[in-house]
Structure 1
Amino acid sequence: MKHHVKKIKYQTKKFMDFIDITEDVALFAKENKIQNGFLTIFINHTTAAIRINEREKGITKDFELFAKKLLPSKDYYHHNDLTIRTENLVCEPGASDCLNGHSHNLHLLMGGTSEHVPIIDGKLAFGTFQRIFLIELDCARPRSVTIQIIGE
């Protein structure tokens, strides 16, 4: 059984930036000559997600509108209230980039930390329209994705 790990860095551009990382993931599997096994794609952040879905602009726009309606960024979130928050305080005084309670809650609802894909006969076992997306749930920032492959 072989085991390979790679970390890939991406730069998101905006809230609800859907970055199709399918080709990067498939290339990593191909380079490592795995014929049968599985891979895991893991996002190393709590305000971004990894999801498998169809690449179609209507879907991404619908999801952005749904997210804004469900969890508006201007609503009150305890996470954003620095008069009561006592944990994981990494913001500079006056900085707003840590006031992202809506992004954390959206991540919790999506359950989007990782996806798993079988590799069968050297190919990712996707359905016809399935693609792997890194989805930005906050604002433009650097992101990293870890890919792990186990197989033969």
Structure 2
Amino acid sequence: MRIFFKEIRVSTSSRFEIIDITDRVEEVVHKSGICNGMVLVFAPHATAAIIANENEPGLVEDLLTLIREIFQPERAWRHNRIDDNAHAHLASAFIGASRVFPVKDCRVVRGTWQNIMLVEMDGPRTRRVIVEVMGE
């Protein structure tokens, strides 16, 4: 088994934002030379997440609206006494900081409407995303 590791950087421009990183992940898989296995996409941050979903502007706004409604940035969370981002920590914990996808025939296996996206909830920032490809 071979392992290929690459870190990509994603700059966000808003407190809440969803950025499609599918092409960048596909590029790493291609460069890895690994044609069958799996790819881990991991955001090593406590206030961001990785999702797989459709990158349609209305849905993206709906997702961000839902995150704001559920995790209420304006709420008096205890963690906000330290840093005004408790909502982002909570959302990241529930959504998840990583996704694993199969790799087959040198391509990421995903559904027709599944793009790989970084969810920013405490921006703007420059985020690191780890892409690790494992297989043969």
TM-score norm. by structure 2 comes to: 0.94
Q: Aligned pair 1:57/2:42, yes or no?
A: no
Q: What amino acid is aligned across from residue 99 of structure 1 in structure 2?
A: D
Structure-2 residue corresponding to 1:44: 44
CA RMSD of aligned residues (A): 1.1
3-state SS of 1:134 partner: strand
Structure 2 residue ranges without an equivalent (≥5)? none
Instruction: Show CA shifts across 1:79-123 (max 9, x none).
Output: 0124xxxxxxxxxxxxxxx3111111111221x210001111111
After TM superposition, the structure 1 = structure 2 runs for residues 4-23 of structure 1, keeping only pairs within 5 Å, are: 4-23=4-23
Which of 117, 125, 129 is residue 113 of structure 2 equivalent to? 129
TM-score norm. by structure 1 comes to: 0.85
Give 1:40 deviation, angstroms: 0.1
Give 1:35 deviation, angstroms: 1.2
Instruction: Show CA shifts across 1:47-83 (max 9, x none).
Output: 000111111111111112222222222211110124x
Q: What amino acid is aligned across from residue 78 of structure 2 in structure 1?
A: H
Structure-2 residue corresponding to 1:95: none
Structure-2 residue corresponding to 1:72: 72
User: Using the alignment, how far apart are the partners of 2:51 and 2:70 within structure 1?
Assistant: 19
In 1, are the aligned partners of 2:38 and 2:101 still within 8 Å (CA)? yes
Q: Which runs of 4+ in 1 moved over 4 A?
A: none
Matched residue count: 136
After TM superposition, the structure 1 = structure 2 runs for residues 103-118 of structure 1, keeping only pairs within 5 Å, are: 103-110=88-95, 112-118=96-102
Percent of pairs identical after alignment? Answer: 32
After TM superposition, the structure 1 = structure 2 runs for residues 26-37 of structure 1, keeping only pairs within 5 Å, are: 26-37=26-37
User: Using the alignment, how far apart are the partners of 1:127 and 1:16 within structure 2?
Assistant: 25
Please identify the structure whose Cα radius of gyration is greater.
1
Structure-2 residue corresponding to 1:120: 104
Give 1:6 deviation, angstroms: 0.7
Structure-2 residue corresponding to 1:151: 135
